[in-house]
């Protein structure tokens, strides 16, 4: 039976005290949850962007640089990053208008969305169950659990906190609709659901979640115990199923669009790469692993590589035992309806990302647990409360363990947050957690490059290629190192390997741009021009392709075209090198003010650049 509605968190106060009404109590608890969340995650506001998708989503994404009709059209029509999530792109665009490339501002938006999600979760549970105390505990677990750090601290995962925000708003609108069904309220549910899908298709299982809520706590199914609030009219199961069909149609449409986008982006892995049997085994093990990481959130990492082949039998057996064991407990105590709702919530909302359709190289991901673990939190908190009632525990023995648990999880979350303080910290930790992770080695190499440690970075790329010979990024990166050290033929081999291995347009564009530079340095100008053109065709934002083509055009005496390409390169990615080349060309063509301004821009980026200093001083002397 549904748990009776009651308020046990704070005793009633007399007169006009702070908690003299449920509304005031809810307000104070919401402010408390928001404050705790913001304080816990405050360090993230000082973190930079990380070298994992943040470049593609924000730093090097020319499409988010301005709000216009063209930007909106692009957001709704692009399959960039193998996804269709227009509202996520628009949110990044709005952030860029407010903060430019100040990473702290982008992090703040994600943090505010997480804090809003925490508050919404509390209000949703409180409204549907009538329990402030238990709702507060579930929301607090959601706020501070370390497994959620990834979703908040990673700017490129904005889509996760944003889609969850609309997911919770949809659930709120559904409760509003369930109390008094009419088409206007249903339209609000459908609209908010569509907005969630346009943020990230992770919420595709919402129609299924609504059926769970009909079962508990709303009690909408005819003949079932009344909901905890006794406000919701009941309907037959057939009518409730029919009621969800329009929402299911939105889910199907979203699934179709997502599959097309992921296939176009080369993100969906083939049966040859990951056989179905291996995917099924990994799914069973992953379910158990998510539960374990909820209980013991240690060795969390931004990426857990897929094994690619059969897993040890003991892992599969343990995963099956956990799933069957919990399911048996839920069935045995089925009168505690929150158990079935919470368990099926966890199992069901993970289905889109459990790996039956394998996207990318991960076996699982912390960010995927952001919504699903809420179901387990409900099971644990409501179950603990029932046990405490059965054992007739005093209030202190109910509150004290909860406080200790939340403090322990907060400490672990703060430590996990520290790994996101820089790309080097993030990937050093990931390699330490799982050394056999080629993507981690690639990204650690990139982080070392940003620190100027090129030889150490090259070693990381070699390790990545040794682990995964078909990894295109390690070959591109080794090619860049070899090219920088004058080993042009070897660099060319690496770039061509990347082109043969990758289907990712952005990666191919980079490989072609770098290959063009090798051809240019070797004196093969026609091949260089073809490579640059192909890079720009693949990715109109490939700034170094414009730079290389500009230098090539300058050699050919086509100065106006060279200035155009170099200007475009500097616009896409301001670099001191591009501005120095522009300054030289402007000076050569008699555009002295423009040349002086270009050198000044170069010095803003690199104040110690001697070439720019000398050129700017020479122009000053000319003016005199």
Cβ atoms within 10 A of the Cβ of 14, count? 6
Q: Which residue has the tokens 């919470």?
A: 342
For residue 423, what pLDDT is reported?
96
pLDDT in tens, 231-287: 789 999 999 999 999 999 999 999 999 999 888 877 777 777 788 899 999 999 999
Decide if pLDDT at 18 tops 70. Answer: no
The yes-or-no verdict on residue 23 having pLDDT over 90 is no
pLDDT at 622 over 80: no
Confidence of residue 2 (pLDDT cuts 50, 70, 90): very low
And the tokens for 127? 């409204």
- 336's CB contacts (< 8 A; 6+ apart) are 382, 383, 386
Region 332-359: what's the mean pLDDT?
Answer: 95
Average pLDDT on 282-302 reads: 97
Q: What is the spatial distance between Cα 363 and Cα 375, in angstroms, rounded to a whole number?
A: 21
For 204, 212, 214, 227, 383, the CA distances from 224, given in Å and listed in that order, are 27, 13, 10, 9, 20
For the record, the structure tokens of 97 come out as 């208008």
Q: What integer pLDDT is reported at residue 491 of this predicted model?
A: 96
| 471-495 pLDDT tens trace | 999 999 999 999 999 999 999 999 9
Instruction: Name the pLDDT band for 608 (thresholds 50, 70, 90).
Output: confident
Angle at which helices 22-40 and 103-129 pack, to 10 degrees?
150
Mean pLDDT to the nearest integer, 199-226: 94
Which residues make Cβ contacts (< 8 Å) with residue 45, sequence separation at least 6?
A: 104, 107, 108, 111
Q: How far apart are CA 208 and CA 167, in angstroms?
A: 13
**78 pLDDT exceeds 50?**
yes
- The closest alpha carbon to 243, from 221, 219, 217, 227, belongs to 221
Give the per-residue pLDDT at 228: 59
Cα separation, 545 vs 549, in Å, equals 6
pLDDT at residue 4 in the model? 42
Q: Which residue has the tokens 């390169």?
A: 569
pLDDT of residue 5 exceeding 50, the answer is: no
User: Alpha-carbon distance 464 to 481, whole Å?
Assistant: 15
Q: Of the candidates 511, 413, 404, which has an alpha carbon nearest to the alpha carbon of residue 37?
A: 413
Q: Which residue has the higher pLDDT, 494 or 225?
A: 494
Helix (H, G, I), strand (E, B) or coil at 364: strand
Output b/e per residue, 388-414; b: 16+ Cβ within 10 A: eeeeeeeeeebeeebeeebeebbebbb
The backbone torsions φ and ψ at residue 304, rounded to the nearest 5 degrees and listed phi first, read: -110, 110
More confident residue, 249 or 610: 249
- Tell me, what's the pLDDT at 229? 58
Percentage of the chain with pLDDT > 90?
Answer: 79
Give the list of residues 6+ apart from residue 337 with CB closer than 8 angstroms, or none.
1, 2, 215, 216, 217, 225
Least Cα distance to 565 among 580, 578, 583 occurs for: 578
Q: How confident is residue 10, by pLDDT bands cut at 50, 70 and 90?
A: very low
pLDDT digits (tens, 9 = 90+) for 419-456: 999 999 999 999 999 999 999 999 999 999 999 999 99
d(CA 1, CA 603) in angstroms, rounded, equals 71
- Residue 430's nearest CA partner among 417, 446, 443 is 443
Quick one: pLDDT at residue 9? 45
Judged by average pLDDT, the poorest of 46-55, 194-203, 324-333, 355-364 is: 355-364
- pTM as predicted: 0.89
Angle of helix 337-349 relative to helix 206-215, nearest 10 degrees, comes to 180
Whole-Å CA distances, 80 to 53, 109, 357: 11, 22, 19
Q: Which residue has the higher pLDDT, 141 or 614?
A: 141
pLDDT of residue 19: 61
Cα angle: 78, vertex 79, 85; to 5 degrees = 85
Write down the pLDDT at residue 20: 66
| pLDDT, the chain, mean | 92
Contacts for 543 with CB less than 8 Å, ≥ 6 apart = 60, 568, 569, 572, 573, 575, 578
pLDDT score recorded for residue 431:
96
* Cα dihedral across residues 547, 551, 553, 554: positive or negative: positive
CA 609 from chain centre, in angstroms, equals 37
């Amino acid at each position: 039976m549904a748990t009776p509605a009651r308020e046990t968190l704070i005793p009633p106060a007399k007169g006009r005290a702070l908690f003299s009404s449920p509304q005031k109590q809810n307000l104070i608890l919401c402010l408390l949850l928001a404050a705790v969340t913001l304080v816990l995650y405050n360090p993230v506001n000082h973190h930079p962007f990380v070298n994992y998708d943040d470049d593609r989503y924000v730093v090097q994404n020319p499409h988010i640089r301005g709000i216009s009709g063209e930007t909106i059209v692009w957001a709704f029509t692009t399959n960039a990053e193998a996804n269709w999530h227009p509202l996520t792109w628009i949110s990044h665009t709005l952030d860029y208008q407010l903060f430019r490339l100040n990473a702290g501002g982008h992090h703040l938006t994600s943090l505010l969305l997480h804090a809003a999600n925490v508050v919404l979760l509390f209000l949703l549970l409180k409204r549907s169950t009538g329990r402030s105390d238990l709702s507060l505990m579930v929301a607090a677990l959601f706020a501070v659990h370390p497994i959620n750090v990834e979703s908040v601290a990673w700017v490129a995962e904005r889509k996760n906190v944003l889609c969850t925000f609309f997911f919770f708003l949809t659930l709120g609108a559904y409760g509003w609709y369930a109390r008094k069904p009419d088409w206007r309220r249903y339209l609000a549910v459908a609209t908010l659901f569509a907005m969630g899908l346009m943020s990230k298709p992770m919420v595709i299982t919402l129609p299924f979640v609504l059926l769970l809520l009909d079962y508990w706590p709303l009690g909408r199914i005819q003949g079932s115990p009344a909901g905890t609030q006794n406000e919701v009219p009941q309907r037959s199961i057939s009518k409730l199923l029919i009621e969800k069909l329009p929402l299911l149609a939105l889910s199907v449409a979203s699934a179709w669009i997502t599959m097309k986008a992921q296939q176009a982006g080369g993100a969906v892995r083939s049966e040859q790469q990951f056989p179905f049997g291996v995917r099924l085994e990994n799914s069973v093990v992953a379910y158990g692993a998510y539960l374990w990481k909820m209980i013991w959130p240690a060795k969390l990492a931004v990426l857990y590589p897929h094994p690619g082949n059969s897993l040890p039998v003991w892992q599969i057996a343990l995963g099956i035992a956990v799933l069957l064991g919990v399911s048996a407990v839920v069935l045995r105590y089925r009168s505690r309806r929150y158990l079935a709702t919470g368990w099926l919530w966890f199992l069901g909302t993970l289905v889109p990302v459990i790996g039956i359709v394998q996207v990318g190289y991960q076996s699982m991901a912390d960010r995927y647990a952001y919504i699903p673990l809420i179901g387990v939190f409900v099971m644990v908190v409501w179950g603990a409360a029932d046990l405490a009632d059965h054992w007739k525990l005093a209030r202190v023995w109910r509150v004290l363990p909860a406080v200790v648990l939340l403090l322990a999880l907060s400490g672990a979350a703060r430590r996990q947050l520290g790994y996101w303080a820089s790309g080097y910290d993030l990937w050093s930790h990931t390699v330490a957690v799982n050394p056999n992770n080629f993507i981690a080695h690639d990204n650690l190499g990139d982080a070392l490059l940003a620190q100027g440690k090129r030889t150490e970075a090259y070693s990381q790329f070699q390790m990545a290629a040794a682990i995964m010979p078909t990894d295109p990024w390690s070959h591109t990166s080794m090619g860049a190192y070899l090219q920088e050290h004058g080993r042009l033929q070897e660099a060319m081999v690496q770039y061509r390997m990347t082109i043969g291995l990758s289907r990712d347009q952005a990666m191919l564009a980079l490989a072609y741009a770098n290959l063009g530079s090798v051809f240019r340095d070797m004196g093969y100008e026609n091949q260089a021009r073809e490579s640059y053109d192909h890079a720009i065709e693949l990715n109109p934002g490939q700034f170094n392709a414009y730079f290389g083509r500009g230098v090539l055009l300058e050699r050919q005496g086509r100065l106006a075209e060279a200035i155009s390409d170099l200007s475009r390169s500097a616009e896409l990615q301001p670099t001191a090198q591009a501005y120095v080349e522009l300054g030289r060309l402007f000076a050569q063509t008699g555009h002295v003010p423009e040349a002086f301004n270009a050198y000044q821009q170069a010095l803003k980026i690199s104040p110690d650049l001697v070439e720019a200093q000398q050129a700017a001083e020479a122009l000053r002397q000319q003016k005199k």
